[in-house]
Amino acid sequence: MNEHDERGTTMTGVDPSRLDDQQLMKELETIHRTRHDTLLHGSNDALRTHNDRMAQLEGEYLRRHPRRPVSTGRTREGARDRECGESTTPRT
C-alpha cells in the first residue's frame, strides 16, 4: 500500500477506493462513532488525522452514490418549513 496520497500527507488506513461497499459503510460507521471522543479528547494531530480520514471516506461514499436519497427535512427549504410550522404552533 502507498503510504502517501497525492498531497504528500501520510495515508491512514486502506485507500477508500479499494474498499467494497460493505467495508466502506463499516469504516464510515466507525469513524462517525469515534468523532465526538476525538474532538473532545484527541490531540491536534489525532483530530487532523480523523478529519482527513473522514473526508476521504465520505468523499468516496459520495463518489459512489451521487444520487443518494436526500431527506426533505435535511435541506434548507425543509428547515425553513419546520421553522414556519413551529412558529404557528401554539406553545403550552
Q: What string of H, E and C letters represents the secondary structure of the chain?
A: CCCECCCCCECCCCCHHHCCHHHHHHHHHHHHHHHHHHHHHCCHHHHHHHHHHHHHHHHHHHHHCCCCCCCHHHCHHHHHHHHHHHHHCCCC
pLDDT in tens, 28-75: 999 999 999 999 999 999 999 999 999 999 999 999 999 999 888 888
More confident position, 87 or 24: 24
Q: What is the pTM of this model?
A: 0.71
pLDDT in tens, 79-92: 777 777 654 444 44
Rounded Cα–Cα distance for residues 60 and 55 (Å)? 8
Spacing of C-alpha 31 from chain mean position: 8
Q: Which three cell numbers stand for residue 51?
A: 478529519
Q: What is residue 52's predicted lDDT score, i.e. its pLDDT? A: 96
